[in-house]
Structure 1
């Protein structure tokens, strides 16, 4: 029987055949994300609390990522060709991160972020704390 759930605890895999499968979400989901092959096709939808700045950059080489800030305020930093770009998101606003662009989040006011992201190929790199301190 179907049940209601939160996008924080349960993610949705939106498959290319237009089906939607639920997956257990949360921190343990991301622990082996680089090895997962079940997400190679389609998109992943979920939500996460935003209480501190991201400690990593990420990019999605196979498609755009849709970020909707449900509550709070954050600044997205994009490492774009031609230089860094910053976009402030307030509650209720959405931003489409272009394919292949490194990005990270700086939390201005804690809140919750909903994401719809390509399932395959996501890459991460650490934030250089010294470089971030010079720019932020």
Structure 2
């Protein structure tokens, strides 16, 4: 794929790397993609950022947490109810299109949707963890 060609960010995420680089990634297919992404970009450490767009039509079945850095979540379409576990209490934030929230480093979070919703995520994937909901 030519570097100047338009591409679908929901299929081909990008990595914001050291030196202000933007590196298009291979097509995102399956959960193992994230492990391969980590191996490809590990040299950037916590300063590297993964930029993805995901669409959801069901509530998430896991919680996730990013220990190495904050995550920006921007609702692009639909409505997303994001839950953040902060100091043992759950804080809920409703996102409408163009609204954003930050998941601070180390905060477990999950989301509910009642219909199709799409969000932009910018995060350091380094050391991310998941647990059942």
TM bucket normalised to smaller: 0.7 to 0.9
- 1:80 corresponds in structure 2 to 86
- 2:128 corresponds in structure 1 to 122
Residues matched between the structures, number: 126
Give structure 1 stretches of 5+ with no counterpart. 128-136
Once the two structures are TM-superposed, the CA of residue 92 in structure 1 deviates from its matched residue by 1.0
- 1:64 corresponds in structure 2 to 70
Q: Quote the Cα distance in structure 1 between the aligned partners of 2:59 and 2:41.
A: 26
State the TM-score, normalized to the length of structure 1.
Answer: 0.85
- Runs of at least 4 residues of structure 1 off by over 4 A? none
User: Residue 50 of structure 1 contacts residue 112 of structure 1 at CA under 8 Å; is this kept in 2?
Assistant: yes
Partner of 1:108, secondary structure, is: coil
Matched, 1:18 2:45: no
- 1:6 corresponds in structure 2 to 8
Q: Quote the Cα distance in structure 2 between the aligned partners of 1:126 and 1:53.
A: 12
Alignment root-mean-square deviation, CA: 1.5
State the TM-score, normalized to the length of structure 2.
Answer: 0.87
Once the two structures are TM-superposed, the CA of residue 126 in structure 1 deviates from its matched residue by 1.2
Partner of 1:39, secondary structure, is: helix
Matched, 1:103 2:104: no
User: Residue 72 of structure 1 contacts residue 108 of structure 1 at CA under 8 Å; is this kept in 2?
Assistant: no
Q: 1:27 to 1:56 in 2, by over 3 A?
A: farther
Give structure 2 stretches of 5+ with no counterpart. none
Q: Quote the Cα distance in structure 2 between the aligned partners of 1:107 and 1:82.
A: 23
Q: Which is richer in strand? A: 1
- After superposing the two structures, state which structure 1 stretch, 18-27 or 66-75, moved more: 18-27
